[in-house]
Amino acid sequence: MSIIVSGSTVFDRIMDFPGLFSDHILPQEIHKLNVSFVVREFKETFGGAAANIAYNLALLKETPLLYSAVGKDFGKYGERLKKLNINLSGVKVYPQTFTASAYIITDKSDNQITGFFPGAMSFYASTPKATANDLAIISPGNANEMLDLAENYFKKKVPFIFDPGQQIIQFTKNQLRTAINQASIYIVNDYELSLTKKITGWPQEKILKAAKILIVTLGKQGSVIELCQGRSLERVKIKPAKVKVVKDPTGAGDAYRAGLIKGLLLSKMKLNTENYFKLPWIEIGQIASLASVYAVEEYGTQAHSYTLKEFKDRYFKEFKSTIL
């Protein structure tokens, strides 16, 4: 069985501005804006939804297959991922461009100005050779590629998680409706759920019936897993794991998704069958919840680390039970 992770791989270039943007931007002159901010610190960190998910899966002692389009500057990033035992056979390098990059300036009130260069993300990665015995996740990346992958997995009966993320606004009503119907699990945060309702024109009940499994993350309030099979409905509330210190919430959602996949693998779930009501969803959700807090406790989406033993020990301390 392979774990197939598709989506973006990104360099995050983060800059800290010690002042306030509002001190240098005049509202009445906004039509001819021309400003320059001298930053105090510059950090290049590794990011991108797919790479983040793969990174967290590696911490959980899984060997994911990463499918992502990257550019000629991917070398150092790729070497790092290889050392983590992440399979890069699905990564496609486009030598004529650069890997997608986000340039983020943050002021002392946590306001942000971001410039995003899609680079290689404008192109497709290699096509996954998936089978019905694999488990895939389609995370935010090239919007057209996401839809093509959903269609491909659906036809091949490959169980997959559809995670539209920030790309959700790129989909039309019919495109998003189709992807939700095709997916084994539809996962969004609460804001993206509101966008899902707006784009599809469906109420939450209809989204659930189409998805069969709907997972909504709620930040500090934890997450909710909803299941629908015919007329049978179930709602499982997952409490948030305790955070030792909040440094940066960015990347927590990707870590949650890796924990979700780990929980599904431990439960030996086959998402293309009708047996998902029997699964230990509380335990699966708790694994996802704990995985997410590690990302919150460090600055950057791939700065945290732990051993599987440390994860299991913390899980027992947090939830007073052992992992599946």
136 assigned to some structural domain? yes
pLDDT at 35 over 90: no
pLDDT at 273 over 70: no
154 assigned to some structural domain? yes
Q: Contact at 8 Å (CB) between 139 and 187?
A: no
Question: What CA–CA distance (Å, rounded) separates 292 from 256?
Answer: 5
205 assigned to some structural domain? yes
Q: How many residues does the chain have?
A: 324
Q: Contact at 8 Å (CB) between 255 and 294?
A: yes
248 assigned to some structural domain? yes
265 assigned to some structural domain? yes
Q: What is the pLDDT of residue 114?
A: 86
23 assigned to some structural domain? no
51-101 pLDDT tens trace = 999 999 999 999 999 999 999 999 999 999 999 999 999 999 999 999 999
28 assigned to some structural domain? no
171 assigned to some structural domain? yes
pLDDT at 153 over 70: yes
Q: Which domain holds residue 180?
A: 3-8+49-100+120-319
pLDDT at 257 over 70: yes
pTM for this prediction: 0.92
What does each C-alpha distance from 192 to 32, 59, 92, 252, 292 come to in angstroms? 33, 27, 29, 15, 18
How many C-beta atoms surround the C-beta of residue 161 within 10 A? 23
Residue 44 phi/psi, 5-degree rounding, is: -105, 120
Higher pLDDT among residues 211 and 250, named by residue: 211
Question: What CA–CA distance (Å, rounded) separates 285 from 153?
Answer: 24
Question: What CA–CA distance (Å, rounded) separates 181 from 195?
Answer: 17
Q: What is the pLDDT of residue 272?
A: 59
Question: What CA–CA distance (Å, rounded) separates 148 from 154?
Answer: 10
Q: What is the pLDDT of residue 274?
A: 64
Mean pLDDT for the chain? 93
Question: What CA–CA distance (Å, rounded) separates 298 from 27?
Answer: 35
Q: What is the CATH classification number for the domain harbouring 231?
A: 3.40.1190.20
> Among the residues of 239-280, which ranges form H helices?
252-266
Q: Contact at 8 Å (CB) between 125 and 90?
A: yes
Number of domains comprising the chain: 1
Residue 182 phi/psi, 5-degree rounding, is: -80, -30
